[in-house]
A and B are shown apart, each in its own frame.
Chain A
Amino acid sequence: EAGVVQSPRYKIIEKKQPVAFWCNPISGHNTLYWYLQNLGQGPELLIRYENEEAVDDSQLPKDRFSAERLKGVDSTLKIQPAELGDSAVYLCASSLVRDSGLFFGEGSRLTVL
């Protein structure tokens, strides 16, 4: 069974440029998460989807961040414009049902110059 797939793995951009990250969850997993992991820190939730619906986006900086999960499968996280402080790893995770735990992708490492 394929795991959570994320792309790109690495992205280097200049500040004020846009960037987008893509996530393909494990097949059949209805819940999808985007987490932010700063260097030396644990992951912090940005947004959680149940199928197509964003059920928790309270930690998503909506002035520059946006996300979508069309058709309840793949998801895209966008930052526009990027700032220096956005340099971090963006992790996608998915889960099937409660009690199963989250399954993480390898992450997308963003460097903003």
Chain B
Amino acid sequence: SAVISQKPSRDICQRGTSLTIQCQVDSQVTMMFWYRQQPGQSLTLIATANQGSEATYESGFVIDKFPISRPNLTFSTLTVSNLSPEDSSIYLCSVDVSPYEQYFGPGTRLTVT
């Protein structure tokens, strides 16, 4: 397994500002993933972050809105830019511990006012 931490755990942000979410893992992992869970909804994959390369975004998500960094094998950040109320969600990072197992961080609850 892996121990994953996220900061902040929650935040309330003003419209038009940005929030950067940090994800730290206690072991080196190849791939890290960012998901969004809108209120009362399921999870949607935003992007995949590999160390040393540009993040790969899923359909409907763009780098200008969700820039991602992956400076090393234990850390990644997701920035949600130009916030609007529709961005209010829980953002979760996850890692693949093995080819068959994926573990999720505790999530960051974002509220945009």
User: Are A and B part of the same complex?
Assistant: no
B contact residues vs A (CB 8 Å cutoff): none
